[in-house]
Chain A
Amino acid sequence: MQSKSTYKVPNGKLLKIFLDYNEKNNEIYNLRITGDFFAYPEEAIEIIENKLKNSFLKKEILLDKINSIIKENHIEFIGLDAEGLTDGILMCLK
């Protein structure tokens, strides 16, 4: 199932997510994170997109996973944070 969300991150930028997921078990096939935020290093966004493949679309699971990817890869977001990204992804289900 393909879905899209547009989400204004609180105190941040506009996030647009394109999500392809298995609606039977709520697992991510593919994810594209776009928007006018900043991420350092920029290539980190592709790491996040790849590492979230096959993740379950559940808030606690996604948030934990995103936080650990951020920590592992020393990613710094401006205008976006792990919670905002999680909420933006989950908004695709609505």
Chain B
Amino acid sequence: MKEQWRLLKTENNSASTNMAMDRAELVAISKGSAPPTVRFFTWKPAAISIGYFQSLEEEVDLDVCKKYGIDYVRRITGGGAVFHDKELTYSIVIPEDHFQIPKNIMESYGRICGALIKGLKQLGIESRYVPINDIVTNGKKISGNAQTRKAKTVLQHGTIIMDVDVEKMFSLLKVPNEKIRDKLISDVKQRVTSVKHILGEEISFKKAAVAMKIGFEEEFDVELNEGTLTKEEIELTNKFEKEFFSTREWNHRR
């Protein structure tokens, strides 16, 4: 019998709830009170997440976020600012000593991205992993990923870009020099693509989640069983949201 992992689908949560859920799963799984878990999720309202080491005010135009009702949050993972709008976001939480997870961090990025690449293939999209943390198709980025390791547990989360509005994204992000904003927008349009752009049609979250589920099952030779957060994880989610991800202290700490 194949190893059984848990699958969570949590649509339309706020940025702080989403980041608190990932951290709650990390704590529960580090204590052995939940199995390895893959979660597919979306954001409501749309949100910007910044990497753990980034300066919020340096990267994000908070006035424009407020104007458009865009949420923002600091992640516990490194990496860059991401505009989470039309995408499928995933996270995987698994003990660091699980035999499927390479000890080497870069190798483990490649391995987990392998699941997404297989998922994209289910949608008819050929792609490959490009270190440090991207998946590209025809030379353009379709997925960005970020990993942390805490309490002997790996958390990697990332995006599958379903559709992208580069102009809107750049209205929310600060650019070093306003004169080059148009140039940056056209550069990013050259470098970033989406499932919709490649397939010529919109793919629902549900359909994308089915494809990605198969990708994870194939890559790790497991079965993903749809489940829910445990009571402990729900309590931890509430706690982390209240104490970290919704606070000014956390989000503005750099």
Contacts and interface: CB of A to CB of B under 8 A. Distances in A.
Interface of A: 6, 13-14, 16, 18, 32-42, 45, 76, 78-79
Nearest to A76: B105
B250 interface: no
7 contacts: A18-B55, A33-B53, A35-B51, A38-B78, A38-B133, A40-B149, A78-B132
A7 to B, nearest CB: 12
A42 B148 contact: yes
Given A6-B176, A76-B105, A39 B78 contact: yes
Contact of B148 (A37, A40, A79): A40
A16 B132 contact: no
Contacts of B148: 40, 42
B106 A78 contact: yes
Contacts of A40: 105, 148-149
A1 B185 CA distance: 34
Contacts of A39: 53, 78
Contact of B53 (A6, A41, A45): A45
A43 B79 CA distance: 15
A49 to B, nearest CB: 10
B242 interface: no
Given A6-B176, A41-B150, A78 B80 contact: no
